[in-house]
Amino acid sequence: MKLTCVLCSKEYIFDPDKIPDQGFRISCSSCNSKFTFHLPEGWRDILLIADDELTGDDTAVSGDEKFIMIADDTAFFRALMTDILTKQGYNVKTASDGQQALDIFNASPSSFKLILLDLQMPKISGFTVLEELNKLSKMDISVPPVIVMTGVHDSHEDIKIVRELGAQGFVDKSLDPAVALERINMVLEGQKVESDR
């Protein structure tokens, strides 16, 4: 499991089997801050959801269903957001890297109503995904709103770049999931979401 310091954005990798159910307290080796991670109830079950069950065996989607895509390289975050969104009645597809996100989208562009996009991913970054989606929109391909969700790229320059590339929102992953859901709903209702920074 990958967790990020909320002050300096240093990333830590933890073995989920060694994490207490109630969460834990750490001291950041980079900024010396001390903070407690409180994990949601049932987080171990969420972590065990297999990605192939979330995405299905093929990238294409059929019918009139509309999906929210979660593109993030952290399995726990994908599973957590999938659980939150499906409980609210949304259909979800996930991608674990930028190339997979583009492949899933390109297989059926009209099937998506929102994309939640991490900026740091393997193969191609979220910045590149945004650039490619921006090119598609200029070719009259309907591209859904994109919310950038990250705990690392949070500078004013990054916010400016993702806005210029067409992102409708910028949400810090360290936010309470309920707040993230509220902002997702805002974008789906046509409102822009400002950065937390």
Q: Is 0.95 surpassed by the pTM of this model?
A: no
pLDDT above 80 (res 51):
no
At position 135, the amino acid (one-letter code) is K
Q: Side chain identity at 12, as an amino acid letter?
A: Y
DSSP state of 86: H
Q: Which residues contact 53 (CB under 8 A, 6 or more apart)?
A: none
Span(s) in the chain for CATH 3.40.50.2300: 43-188
Domain 43-188 indexed as CATH 3.40.50.2300: yes
Residues of the chain above pLDDT 90, percent: 23
Instruction: Please tell me the predicted confidence (pLDDT) of residue 77.
Output: 83
Residue 102 has pLDDT above 50, yes or no: yes
pLDDT of residue 145: 93
Nearest Cα to 2, choosing from 83, 74, 95, 94? 74
Reported as a pLDDT band with limits 50, 70 and 90, residue 61 is: very low
User: Would you put residue 170 in left (φ > 0), alpha (ψ -120 to 50) or beta?
Assistant: beta
